[in-house]
Amino acid sequence: MKPAVFDYHAPTSLDEAVKLLADLGDEAKPLAGGQSLVPMLSLRLATFEHLVDLRRVDELRGIEPRDGSLWIGAGTTQTAIERSAEVARDTPLLARATPLIGHFQIRNRGTIGGSIAHADAAAEYPAVALALGARMEAISPRGRRTIPADAFFTGLWSTALAEDELLTGITVPVWPGRSGFAIEEFARRSGDFAIAGATVAVRLDGDARIAQCGIGLFGLGPSALRASAAEAELTGSAPTSVSPEEVGRAALSALDAVPSDLHASADYRRHVGAAIVARAWERAVQEATSV
């Protein structure tokens, strides 16, 4: 199929893009890499009278260290993130998640902002953002604001962005000291969306106890989720005081509505999800304790 007719706009500055989106209102949609939006338009699952292409807005691209964090422009492609030495050094979890996204042709066009704003429940980047405590930067005619990852993902394909807001960047904290990171996912084929997946970050204090941990889940709910209760229970304990299997069960125990579809039943997803969390936790702890 072909998309419905729309008017195409290609602003060259952030101010111009924000003004266009504000002036055009509900009938306008920002276009980043288009790897999610274009198929939806082609299948006519979504229609818009105006598309505002952001690819010429240089202010939305870049990777910069900022005050103990790494800022990544929303228009930065996944390939640029995958190849970045700064990302590999400062945010290893993000670097390890990127090659799992689709195929290289998708990553060449897909952007981090597009993935975060689309908020697919089975996507890797939202779960990474939750595990690391990332902050999303947005702009509208009313000004700029920052939204923590915990408050950003609100449901199926929905976020806390207002209709006139544009995601401009993601700030990812750099976890210092003895830290370990891992991402695990189960998919039927390489490049497919995950049936279940987990991102884990662990930081140890001077006494080799867990000073901070983050567990992000994807493919296990209507949006990416954070296992906050399990994180709170683990913080302050020795990493070997609980088994990885216990961590996996704890991370899944608070989930209310695990999806069931033609790919997997809810019970199967719970079983696989607990095993995936356990595997990611074991790898992250092993990395942290070996530093």
What lies within 8 Å, CB to CB, of 121 at 6+ separation is 156, 218, 219, 220, 221, 222, 223, 224, 259
Percent with pLDDT over 90 in the chain:
84
Here the contacts of 34-43 (C-beta below 8 Å, separation 24 or greater) are: 34/109, 34/114, 35/102, 35/106, 35/109, 35/110, 35/114, 36/110, 36/114, 36/115, 36/118, 36/120, 37/114, 37/118, 38/3, 41/3, 41/4, 41/6, 42/1, 42/2, 42/3, 43/1
What pLDDT is recorded for position 163?
A: 87
Tokens 């111009």 sit on residue: 16
CA 77 to chain centre: 14
What pLDDT is recorded for position 122?
A: 94
Q: Which CATH architecture best describes the domain 58-173?
A: 2-Layer Sandwich (3.30)
11 within 8 A of 17, measured Cβ to Cβ: yes
Per-position DSSP letters for 9-22, written without gaps between them:
E--SSHHHHHHHHH
CATH 3.30.43.10 location in the chain:
7-53
Percent with pLDDT over 70 in the chain:
100
Q: Is the pLDDT of residue 205 over 80?
A: yes
Mean local confidence (pLDDT), 23-39: 87
Q: Is the pLDDT of residue 65 over 90?
A: yes
What pLDDT is recorded for position 257?
A: 86
The residue among 170, 224, 179, 222 whose CA lies nearest residue 197 is 224
99 — pLDDT class (breaks 50, 70, 90): very high
User: pLDDT, tens digit, for every residue of 126-157?
Assistant: 999 999 999 999 999 999 999 999 999 999 99
What pLDDT is recorded for position 291?
A: 77
Q: Is the pLDDT of residue 1 over 80?
A: no
CATH 3.30.390.50 location in the chain:
178-289
What pLDDT is recorded for position 64?
A: 97
What pLDDT is recorded for position 222?
A: 94
DSSP SS3 for 259: coil
Tokens 């202010």 sit on residue: 59
66 within 8 A of 24, measured Cβ to Cβ: no
Mean local confidence (pLDDT), 70-82: 98
Q: What is the distance between the alpha carbons of residues 224 and 129, in angstroms, rounded to a whole number?
A: 9
Q: What is the distance between the alpha carbons of residues 83 and 115, in angstroms, rounded to a whole number?
A: 18
Q: Is the pLDDT of residue 47 over 90?
A: no
What pLDDT is recorded for position 13?
A: 97
What pLDDT is recorded for position 131?
A: 98
What fold is seen in the domain 7-53?
A: 3.30.43
Question: Which one is predicted more confidently, 41 or 201?
Answer: 201
**Mean pLDDT, the chain, integer:** 94
CATH 3.30.465.10 location in the chain:
58-173
Give CA separation, 281 vs 183, 225, 236, 276, 288, in Å: 9, 16, 16, 9, 11
Q: What is the distance between the alpha carbons of residues 274 and 252, in angstroms, rounded to a whole number?
A: 6
Q: Is the pLDDT of residue 197 over 80?
A: yes
Listed in sequence order, the DSSP H helices in 9-73 are 14-24, 37-42
According to DSSP, the β-strands at 158-159 and 166-173 are unpaired
User: pLDDT, tens digit, for every residue of 166-195?
Assistant: 999 999 999 999 999 999 999 988 888 899
User: pLDDT, tens digit, for every residue of 227-247?
Assistant: 999 999 999 999 989 999 999
Q: Which CATH architecture best describes the domain 178-289?
A: 2-Layer Sandwich (3.30)
